[in-house]
């Protein structure tokens, strides 16, 4: 058995649960008598049932809001079951007297419950709180205004203050709901921003791909330039080694000639001495001689200052016009590279024609 302290919450629960069962699914208000029951056992106000019937049968003639045509059909708004009417229309539907009696009992019980739960004045026994003290900001009774603590205060009808504060509370709720919607929109926007930022991995991949491409170009260019250096180096070394071999052979021949001459000089017999043929010394005038500076390889020195500056200025596009600056920078790099390649080619041709000139001189 519930105690007196548990009774108000229990009554609130019963009141709320019963009220939900007495709501018409059409007007969303408490059933208005007479209440009709459909074949599917759902209930409607007769007026709401007539409105649904007329909406489902717009071509049937009506007179003073009542249907005069015979027969018709409509669907239950709760379960969509098809309801077929006879010639009496919605007036042929059976009234649900049980629901009507429950509505009467509910209204009477609600009145008694409200009267039982009516707050009373603590200072004046048996007096209901029926006015509102505007000065103190609290509800009170009429005797408090006439004889009590609020006799010098400004008061107002309780209904007026109730309506005013209820409207203010409704405005606050609406404002909070609006703020919540804006906050939700901001959260959605932040989520979109997070997804956009997360797509930065694609940009990172593009940047790495571009740098890999630049590395490949640099490696290719380095290979081409080192091949040219190696080619000229091998050519010069081959020539010098071949020339060294010729001079060595000439030196050996000269040494043999000197040895023969010395042996001839040791001959004491004049006749024998005169019979020895002394070969005249071979001259080195037919041998090539290397020009001064032939060993110099400084013409392969490259100036990468422009390329270094261009690479150090590589950055992300932060403004709409920066792509123009990047384009100009790349054009400058390309121009400098072409100029450097042209200068290197000219220098190589010059040096090639220079070191290929072989001087021959007489001894």
Question: SS3 for the chain, per residue?
Answer: CCCCCCHHHHHHHHHHHHHHHCECCCCCCECCCCEEECCCCCEEEHHHHHHHHHHHCCCCCEECCEECCCCEEEECCCCCCEEEECCCHHHHCCECHHHHHHHHHHHHHHHHHHHHCCCECCCCCCCECCEEECCCCEEECHHHHHCCCCCCCCEEEHHHHHHHHHHHHHHHHHHHHHHHHHHHHHHHHHHHHHHHHHCHHHHHHHHHHHHHHHHHHHHHHHHHHHHHHHHHHHHHHHHHHHHHHHHHHHHHHHHHHHHHHHHHHCCCCHHHHHHCCCCCCCCCCCCCECCCCCCCCHHHCCCCHHHHHHHHCCCCCCCCCHHHHHHHHHHHHHHHHHHHHHHHHHHHHHHHHHHCCCECCCC
In the predicted structure, residue 321 carries a pLDDT above the cut 60: no
Whether 183 and 177 have beta carbons less than 8 Å apart is answered as no
List beta partners, residue 231: none
Angle between helices 322-355 and 200-265 in degrees, nearest 10: 10
In the predicted structure, residue 9 carries a pLDDT above the cut 60: no
The CA-to-CA distance between both ends of the chain, in Å, stands at 142
Of 20-24, 43-47, 357-361, minimum mean pLDDT range: 357-361
In the predicted structure, residue 227 carries a pLDDT above the cut 90: yes
Whether 203 and 250 have beta carbons less than 8 Å apart is answered as no
> For 280-309, what is each residue's pLDDT tens digit?
555 666 777 877 888 888 888 888 888 888
Question: What percent of the chain is predicted at pLDDT more than 90?
Answer: 7
In the predicted structure, residue 68 carries a pLDDT above the cut 50: no
In the predicted structure, residue 26 carries a pLDDT above the cut 90: no
Residues 6+ apart with CB under 8 A from 329: 310, 313
Q: How confident is the model at residue 89 (pLDDT cuts 50, 70, 90)?
A: confident
In the predicted structure, residue 252 carries a pLDDT above the cut 90: no
> For 114-126, what is each residue's pLDDT tens digit?
444 578 888 887 7
Of 15-24, 85-94, 293-302, minimum mean pLDDT range: 15-24
Residue 196: both structure tokens together: 């956009």
Count of Cβ atoms closer than 10 Å to residue 18 Cβ: 15
User: Averaged over 50-75, what is the pLDDT?
Assistant: 67
Q: How confident is the model at residue 351 (pLDDT cuts 50, 70, 90)?
A: very low
pLDDT score of 219: 93
- Rounded to the nearest integer, the mean pLDDT of the chain is 76
In the predicted structure, residue 111 carries a pLDDT above the cut 80: no
pLDDT score of 341: 53
pLDDT score of 342: 54
pLDDT score of 84: 87
pLDDT score of 98: 86
pTM, entire model: 0.35
In the predicted structure, residue 347 carries a pLDDT above the cut 70: no
Q: From 357, 360, 354, select the one nearest 246 (Cα to Cα).
A: 360
In the predicted structure, residue 220 carries a pLDDT above the cut 90: yes
pLDDT score of 216: 93
Burial of 134 (0-12, 13-18, 19+ CB in 10 A): middle
- The alpha-carbon radius of gyration of the chain (Å, integer) is 58
Q: Which domains does the chain have, with CATH numbers?
A: 15-59+70-110 (3.30.40.10), 120-153 (3.30.160.60), 179-344 (no CATH)
């Amino acid at each position: 058995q519930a105690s007196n302290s548990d009774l108000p919450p229990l009554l609130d629960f019963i009141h709320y649960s019963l009220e939900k069962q007495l709501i018409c699914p059409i007007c969303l208000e408490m059933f208005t008598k007479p209440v009709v029951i459909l074949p599917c056992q759902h209930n409607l106000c007769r007026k709401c049932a007539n409105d649904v019937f007329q909406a489902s049968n717009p071509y049937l003639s009506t007179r003073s809001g009542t249907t005069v045509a015979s027969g018709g059909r409509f669907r239950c708004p709760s379960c969509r079951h098809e309801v077929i009417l006879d010639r009496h229309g919605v007036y042929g539907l059976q009234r649900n007297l049980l629901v009507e009696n429950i509505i009467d009992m509910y209204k009477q019980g609600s009145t008694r419950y409200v009267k039982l739960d009516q707050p009373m004045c603590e200072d004046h026994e048996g007096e209901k709180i029926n006015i509102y003290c505007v000065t103190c900001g609290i509800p009170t009774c009429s005797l408090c205004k006439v004889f009590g603590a609020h006799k010098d205060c400004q008061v107002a009808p309780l209904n007026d203050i109730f309506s005013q504060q209820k409207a203010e509370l409704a405005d606050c709720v609406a404002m909070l709901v609006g703020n919540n919607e804006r906050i939700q929109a901001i959260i959605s926007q932040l989520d979109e921003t997070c997804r956009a930022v997360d797509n930065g991995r694609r940009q990172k991949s593009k940047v790495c791909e571009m740098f890999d491409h630049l590395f490949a170009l640099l490696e290719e260019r380095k290979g081409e330039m080192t091949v040219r250096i190696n080619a000229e180096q091998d050519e010069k070394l081959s020539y010098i080694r071949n020339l060294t071999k010729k001079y060595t052979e000439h030196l050996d021949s000269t040494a043999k000639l000197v040895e023969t001459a010395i042996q001839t000089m040791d001959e004491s017999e004049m006749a024998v001495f005169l019979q020895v043929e002394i070969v005249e010394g071979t001259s080195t005038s037919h041998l090539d001689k290397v020009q001064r500076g032939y060993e110099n390889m400084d013409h392969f020195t490259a100036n990468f200052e422009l390329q270094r500056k261009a690479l150090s200025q590589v950055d992300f596009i932060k403004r709409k016009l920066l792509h123009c600056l990047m384009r100009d920078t790349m054009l400058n790099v390309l121009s400098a590279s072409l100029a450097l390649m042209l200068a290197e080619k000219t220098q190589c041709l010059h040096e090639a024609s220079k070191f290929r000139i072989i001087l021959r001189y007489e001894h």
